[in-house]
Amino acid sequence: MNNKELIDKLNTQKALSKYEWVQLFRSFSQEDRLYAADLARHIALERFGKKVYIRGIVEFTNYCKNDCYYCGIRCSNRNAQRYRLNKEEILSCCDEGRALGFMSFVLQGGEDPRYSLEQMCDIVRAIKQHHPDCAVTLSLGELSEQAYKALYEAGADRYLLRHETADAAHYAKLHPESLTLAHRMECLRALKKIGYQTGCGMMIGSPYQTPECLAEDMLFIKAFEPHMVGVGPFLPHKDTPFKDCPPGSYETTLFVLSLIRIMLPQTLLPATTALGTVHPLGREEGIKAGANVVMPNLSPTAVRKKYMLYDNKICTGDESAQCIACLKGRLAAIGYEIVESRGDYSAVGDR
């Protein structure tokens, strides 16, 4: 089968074999990519119209106990200026976000044991109490099942935990021994079982990634049926072991976004900040290739430059209000608009 036939097969059967995925990632042309983007855009249009959901990210701590080789806030980066936001600061980011039309907040941080489970639950409860019509998403890394459950009971609706790569050997090349793919998968399964709308995802073009790794990612995503999938290019950070590695491909990232949209028509798919960093029109092109979410930063301007997972991250010099105005303009320029909505996952695809 040629690549276009494989993309058509994915569209009708919503699955490919490992062998077929590998072929597609090994040999796709720009024409194949644009063919997939066209299909994916139409699928997204059918489900979501020209409407894009927004989620405001509050990067509340850049302390992290982990040492992932790709990440700028890894614990052994002595050049990172560390910060933590307290409950009041987090709440005021959400208040500001609500006034700007956000109805979905993402609390994201490094794995920072300084916040106790009780404190995190208290923060979640406070956000839900101030903004009962809004959704709270957590992105706190790997925690115990009991902790996930307590946070869910405190009111958290969603959890983002990228699987990073579904190939165990590749996982081991991106992380120290203390982190394993098996444990990551356990966490993801627990999150879904508890009832979270759960997001997984991976970087495109991370060091040592092969077409086989990407094939495993697609098979995993198919089997896991996540509610959200976060995908962006790998970008090097100057203070990490991967500082000299080349960035992931913009085109491959767009292609993967389209393939995910074709495979899982209803999934929530962000055009990520990393995609907007690797190319000035990355987020717009991501939307045009099948994405339906953008996740602007709601962190206080004073800390934005400190939450540097990779070099040259966009929007780190801007106020939240500037970012949302900028994004509205960018989306309007391609004929899309932001919706003021929680943007929940819906299996039936009603709007």
Where do contacts with ligand 5AD occur on this chain (CB under 6 A)? 70-71, 162, 164, 203, 232, 234-235, 237, 274, 309-310
Written as one letter, the residue type at 183 is: H
60: its two tokens:
């509340």
**Collapsing DSSP states into helix, strand and coil, what is residue 337?**
strand
> Which partner from the list ligand 5AD, ligand FES, none does 318 bind, CB cut-off 5 to 8 Å by kind?
ligand FES
93: its two tokens:
């980011």
d(CA 53, CA 59): 19
Minimum CB separation of residue 7 from ligand 5AD in Å reads 26
Minimum CB separation of residue 335 from ligand 5AD in Å reads 28
Minimum CB separation of residue 261 from ligand 5AD in Å reads 19
Burial category of 117 from C-beta neighbours within 10 Å (exposed 0-12, middle 13-18, buried 19 and up): middle
* Minimum CB distance to ligand FES smaller for 96 or for 318: 318
> Which partner from the list ligand FES, ligand 5AD, none does 327 bind, CB cut-off 5 to 8 Å by kind?
ligand FES
> Which partner from the list ligand FES, ligand 5AD, none does 323 bind, CB cut-off 5 to 8 Å by kind?
ligand FES
Minimum CB separation of residue 134 from ligand 5AD in Å reads 21
* Minimum CB distance to ligand FES smaller for 134 or for 323: 323
Buried b (16+ CB within 10 A) or exposed e, 65-102: ebbbbbbbbbbebeebeebbbeeebbbebbebbbebeb
* Minimum CB distance to ligand 5AD smaller for 245 or for 262: 245
Are the C-beta atoms of residues 22 and 3 closer than 8 Å to each other?
no
Minimum CB separation of residue 149 from ligand 5AD in Å reads 22
d(CA 164, CA 187): 13
> Which partner from the list ligand FES, ligand 5AD, none does 237 bind, CB cut-off 5 to 8 Å by kind?
ligand 5AD
